[in-house]
Chains A and B, each alone.
Chain A
Amino acid sequence: MNGRADLRLVSPRAVLEQVAHAIPKDCRANIIIIGSLAVGYYFFGNDPSLRVHTKDIDCLLSPRIRALPAGKAVTERLFGEQWTYRVSEEWPSPGDAGTPNDKLPAVRLNPPGSTEWFVELLTVPESSADRKQQFSRLETTAGHFVLPSFGFLSIPEYHPIPTDFGIFIARPEMMALAHLLEHPVIGTQTMSTEIAGLILKRSNKDLGRVLAIARLSDGPSIENWPVLWVEVLQNKFGDEWRSLALKAGAGMRQLLAPANEPDFLEVRHSCEYGLLVSQPPTLDQLRATAERLFQDAIEPFEKLAEDPPLLFL
């Protein structure tokens, strides 16, 4: 959908609780919340006064083998609980048995009585080689949908954090790594909806989230990221981990180049109206955060990828 859709300020804890309660109990362990709601819950879930701007709550179905049955159960339960299909120009209604896969919408549902936000179901790729968007058909009693999977969604799946409500949230550093790998360059693709009056490039919005996570994290925890990043890449991508690690900082580096100031302005805009709404940073402050991120996480990560393995005799 193109056009205006104001982001809403929501309480991460309240929304997470509402989503979790609507999900069948036996499926909750298969749900990992990713994106700004997960980051918000991680950093200020215990402070009801702090809210985040969000409109979409991404629910990652995991493991892959459970994705379709869990997706079916979750969708049917939500419809049963009076959640409603979120209509858009491009995707006016769910499909049916005769609808080809590429014409099927994703599961996007508004909670009862509200259109302020919606949940969207996603799943992890079938294999680490799947980097392009894949769509798996999801047949439910409420119609046919697709479960999208793409790129590096297998990374936020790694060691998610259980919440008080039985569902999981992705680790912030894993989401940060997935975004970094997703955007080795500043892309041209734009978001489908405005953020506070601006249509942003997707890469700027996602890399902005990386900086927001870095800003919300404390220094010592960021220094642990390189080791955790190596661990997840080795686990998910095997021998490919080194080449991936060496590409991870490329997009962020490009963003910091003086010539890309307009993109960095978009990054700040995404932070200002997103996760950092309560304490929006200045441009200079956000640049300093980026420089620290390089020093504490990206450069040591690259170093680990460059160094030959140690041999102990």
Chain B
Amino acid sequence: MQLSFKSGNIKVVILSAANEKMVADTGYRPDGQWHDVWVEVKFETHGIRNLRASLLGLAYWLTNNPTSRGLLVLVDSRITEDRLHHEWKLAQQTLHPEILERMAVAFAKKKHYVGLPRDLGDDFRVWLDQLVLKESREGKPRESFYAILEVLLHQWLLGKGPMTSEWIMKTVGCSYPTVAASLRRLESTLLRHSDRRVELRYFPKDEWARLLAVSDEVRSTTRFADRSGQPRSVDSLLNRLKRLGRSDIAVGGVIGARHYQPALDLVGTPRLDLSLHSRGKNVDWNFVKQLDPALQETKRRDEPAPLVIHLVRRVRSLFEPGEDRLPWADPVECLLDLHEGRLESQALEFVRSFRTAKRQTS
């Protein structure tokens, strides 16, 4: 939702056609606008990669808005000022100086801000407080939207037919207004039945692309690297997982995709993708040590990660029971995993291999 300042209140902004196109092209949109200042608020951004993504998104935005300024506000971030300074220097070497001059980054912790441009004054502070508050409330609906999208897609891929809003609410664990708002956003891709049930009409490419852009964040993807110098094979990790007998951990990725579509053109298993069904805020990662004590979380994308774990936050996991008490992640999770593993052509083939998708593309 786009927000602006008007008479001391947060208002919905109507974007220009050029900015609408920008949103469609890049999947990026700032959270608010205060006069000529576009603001993005990021909560608990601890990774440099996410910081870079936000800086780049804001830079794109300012390219399209040459008289505006941009402000990135990092709320409750563990990124240090030194690290930010280092990243800023890197950005100076990469981004156009004219763009960078119009950008700023501020830290926010318990309504205390560090790094706000001084000329913005107290009115801006009041507005920013409201925006941060609003965004903190809206974080969940954004996750809910993608959870709803995933559920709709799940039903569509497996040819399960239409569903009621109530079923979606219970599956995702969200309110009726959230479901209604999400369905409105997906309106063009929906088929609404006379009994008020809904289903996807076709694969929602645009929304899917937006989900892919933020899927690491939405799914809290966590990568684990080997620190022994002798990485365990995927089979070995899988065997150990079977022995744990956990019903809340499902196999996705290449192995999961092969489960749904054995004919898929996937040679080898580069890593193990697992989906962890976890509704709580705190995730218990102890099971990773049980799979292999040599695994250690890594934030580096270029480091090989034999194990990648994605969180499934909805109420119903949609895991499919498998042999040896080892569930399979749902096909949408598998599809996201293929994209995340940069197996783009296989991801496309995977979607097309489902009967519903075949019907649509035939």
Contact = CB atoms under 8 A, between A and B. Distances in A.
A284 B294 CA distance: 9
9 contacts: A281-B229, A285-B230, A288-B226, A288-B229, A288-B294, A289-B228, A289-B230, A291-B293, A292-B292
Interface of B: 226-230, 232-233, 236, 290, 292-294
Contacts of A285: 227-230
- Classify the interface of chain A: helix, strand, loop or mixed: helix
A292 B236 CA distance: 13
Contacts of B294: 288-289, 291-292
B236 A220 contact: yes
Given A215-B230, A282-B229, A288 B293 contact: yes
A295 interface: yes
Nearest to A293: B293
A238 interface: no
A219 interface: yes
Interface string A243-256: 00000000000000
A95 B227 CA distance: 53
Q: Which residue among A219, A279, A281 has the maximum number of chain B CB atoms within 10 Å of its CB?
A: A219
A74 B44 CA distance: 73
Interface string A269-313: 000000000010110110011011011000000000000000000
Contacts of B232: 219
Contact of B227 (A215, A279, A284, A295): A284
B168 to A, nearest CB: 42
Q: Which residue among B226, B232, B233, B293 has the maximum number of chain A CB atoms within 10 Å of its CB?
A: B293
Contacts of A292: 228, 292-294
Interface residues of A, number: 14
A294 B290 CA distance: 11
Contacts of A288: 226-229, 293-294
B298 to A, nearest CB: 13
A220 to B, nearest CB: 7
Contact of B236 (A219, A284, A291): A219
Contacts of B227: 284-285, 288
Contacts of A215: 230
Contacts of A220: 236
B19 to A, nearest CB: 49
Q: Which residue among B226, B232, B294 has the maximum number of chain A CB atoms within 10 Å of its CB?
A: B294
Contacts of A295: 290, 293
Contacts of B233: 219
Contacts of A282: 229
Contacts of B226: 288
B6 to A, nearest CB: 56
A211 B226 CA distance: 18
Closest 6 CB pairs of A and B: A288-B228, A291-B293, A288-B294, A285-B229, A288-B227, A285-B228
Contacts of A219: 232-233, 236
A224 to B, nearest CB: 13
A294 B294 CA distance: 12
A281 B226 CA distance: 13
Given A281-B228, A289-B294, 17 more contacts: A215-B230, A219-B233, A219-B236, A279-B229, A281-B229, A282-B229, A285-B230, A288-B226, A288-B293, A289-B230, A291-B293, A292-B228, A292-B292, A292-B293, A292-B294, A294-B293, A295-B290
A284 B292 CA distance: 14
Contacts of B293: 288, 291-292, 294-295
Contacts of B290: 295
A67 B227 CA distance: 46
Contacts of B229: 279, 281-282, 285, 288
A219 B231 CA distance: 10
Q: Which residue among A215, A282, A291, A294 has the maximum number of chain B CB atoms within 10 Å of its CB?
A: A291
B8 to A, nearest CB: 56
A289 B226 CA distance: 11
A223 to B, nearest CB: 9
A209 B229 CA distance: 18
A285 B229 CA distance: 6
A285 B230 CA distance: 8
Nearest to B290: A295
Contacts of A284: 227
B286 to A, nearest CB: 12
A281 B229 CA distance: 8
A98 to B, nearest CB: 56
A219 B290 CA distance: 14
B228 to A, nearest CB: 4
Contacts of B230: 215, 285, 289
Nearest to B291: A295
A101 to B, nearest CB: 47
Contacts of B236: 219-220
Nearest to A295: B293
Nearest to A279: B229
B261 to A, nearest CB: 29
A112 to B, nearest CB: 40
Contacts of A279: 229
B181 to A, nearest CB: 48
A284 B228 CA distance: 7
